Amino acid sequence: MNIHEYQAKELFRRYDIPVPEGRVVHSDEQALAAAEDLGGERWVVKAQIHAGGRGKGGGVVIADSPERVRQAADRLIGNRLVTPQTGSDGRPVQRVLVEQAQEIAQEFYLAILIDRVSQRITLVASDAGGMEIEEVAAREPQRIVRERVDPAVGLLDFQCRKIAAAVGLKGTLLPQAVKLMKRLYRLFRDKDALLAEVNPLAVVAGDRLLALDAKMDFDGNALYRLPDITDLRDFDEEDPKEVEATGHGLNYIALDGDVGCIVNGAGLAMATMDAIALHGGRPANFLDVGGGASPEKIANAFRIVLEDANVRGILLNIFAGINRCDWVAEGIVRAIRDQAIEVPVVVRLAGTNVAEGWMIMESSGLDYLRAEKLDDAARKAVEAVKGAAA
Ligand code: GDP
Ligand code: MN
């Protein structure tokens, strides 16, 4: 689960990680008041969306008067911001963060993440912080240094010193960096984070290290034990279909193809997506209805899949182990009747009570394509979608 920059900075503050003073505001008038309240001569106005690259997209504005702060906020709030990370539709901006602008002497990159290869929490840093970190990673990978954390002992001081020295932090900045890294690690561990990223970590006036940007991502499976983090969730930043699916106990992830998938079991759902791709099609979603899919769940699954306007056909693939094909068939019949489905539906049933399942399907008089095997089902779905498009 991602959170906004201002929320991540609030967490940083709680862990004594230095961040600029700032106020999050929802209107241009509030932005003006925030600038006057903060004082100083220059401010930075930052669009709060769950996507990076805001600097490149015009979502980070330096203003040299409270009136300019107001104008920047007015331009950002209520509009969509397009950045290299949002896609061409951009994301709606509902609030901005107003901070006192800092004089930046140098920008570093610092992150704590989970490295899947070593299966270790890993500290990552670079002297090439700022907006071009992706290009640096691609062209000059040697400028990015890493340090793996041994879970038995945690992040040790010498590892922080090593990383800090490797990116060229010297003098009084070195102990500041060590402290900051250890605090960021503590936050990461306490809150079951998947990512804590500071880019830029800046050297500002008075030889101080300051986190000018903050990005955090948390493990959704740990939210049940972290109410303070759960509270930071912003449903407006999520696909409404995914939010709705979670509420119905369905595991749904929107994709950009046109073959809607309704499958029981995450592994089978992945295999179904692969089979669709193998036959030249593109899945519109991942959807795992789970083990004990009731007729209601199947009906909800149809509704959520069909909310995606790109869907031109549905592949329903059920391998009933814990599940029962007759329950699933009842759900399909109910869904197709109640929802006036206008796209072709391919049904593949296998496993427990499969004969009863097909009986319900056949006697329903509904229009659908029957498939016995996964490969056959995927081929029929892709053909049906191509036929519907033609
Ligand atoms: P991102 O582009 O979404 O990652 O947003 P950032 O928060 O990283 O801001 C983009 C860039 O704006 C940073 O890399 C900085 O160079 C610049 N920036 C951010 N805050 C300040 C500030 O207080 N003063 C100055 N001069 N530049 C800033
Ligand atoms: Mn940044």
Pick 332 or 283 by higher pLDDT.
283
d(CA 270, CA 274) in angstroms, rounded, equals 6
Kindly report the length of the chain.
Answer: 390
Bridge partner list, 319: 350
Q: Can 109 be counted among the known catalytic residues?
A: yes
- Distance, in Å, from the CA atom of 260 to the CA atom of 376, rounded to the nearest integer, reads 16
Nearest residue to 336 via CA among 289, 305, 302, 297: 302
Where do the CATH 3.30.1490.20 domains begin and end in the chain?
Answer: 21-101
Ligand nearest to the CA of 102: 1
CB within 5 A of ion ligand 2: which residues? 199, 213
Query: Poorest-confidence range of 73-77, 170-174, 365-369?
Result: 365-369
Q: Among 76, 16, 39, which Cα is nearest to 211's?
A: 16
The CATH label, of 3.40.1180.10, 3.90.580.10, 3.40.50.261, 3.40.50.11260, for the domain at 240-389 is 3.40.50.261
CB 24: neighbour CB atoms within 10 A? 20
Reported as a single tens digit per residue, the pLDDT across 113-148 is: 999 999 999 999 999 998 788 888 889 999 999 999
| DSSP β-ladder status, 80-81 and 91-92 | antiparallel
How much is the pTM?
A: 0.83
Ligand 1, residue 104: give the atom nearest the CA.
26
Residues 6+ apart with CB under 8 A from 231: none
Give CA–CA dist 91/85, Å, rounded.
10
Quick one: pLDDT band at residue 321, thresholds 50, 70, 90? Answer: confident
Q: Quote the ligand 2 centre to 52 CA distance (angstroms).
A: 6
> Which of 6, 99, 107, 109 is an active site residue?
109
Mean pLDDT over the full length of the chain: 94
Res 13: pLDDT: 98
| pLDDT at residue 291 tops 90 | no
d(CA 141, CA 238): 32
Q: Is the peptide bond before 141 cis (omega within 30 degrees of 0)?
A: no
Catalytic site includes residue 185: no
At 154 the pLDDT is 96
CATH class of 21-101: alpha beta
What does the alpha-carbon distance between residue 276 and residue 283 come to, in Å, rounded to a whole number?
A: 7
pLDDT band at residue 290, thresholds of 50, 70 and 90? confident
In the chain, where does the domain assigned CATH 3.30.470.20 lie? 1-20+103-238
Q: Say if ligand 1 is within 6 A of residue 55 CB.
A: yes
Residue 390 pLDDT > 70, yes or no?
A: no
pLDDT (mean) for 357-384: 94
How far apart are alpha carbons 321 and 265 in whole angstroms?
A: 10
Catalytic choice (5, 107, 197, 330): 197
Centre of ligand 1 from the C-alpha of residue 105, in Å:
13
Q: How far is the CA of 171 from the centre of ligand 1 (A)?
A: 25
For domain 1-20+103-238, the CATH class is alpha beta
Tokens of 187: 């936050």
Report the distance separating Cα 286 and Cα 39, nearest Å: 49
Residue 292 confidence class, pLDDT cut points 50, 70, 90: confident
The pLDDT of residue 221 is: 92
Domain with CATH 3.40.50.261 in the chain: 240-389
**The tokens 């010498």 sit on which residue?**
158
Question: Going by C-beta distance under 8 Å and a sequence separation of 6 or more, which residues neighbour residue 227?
Answer: none
Quote the CA–CA distance of 206 and 211 in Å, as a whole number: 15
pLDDT at 262: 96
Q: What share of the chain is helix, strand, coil (3-state, %, to 5)?
A: 40, 25, 35
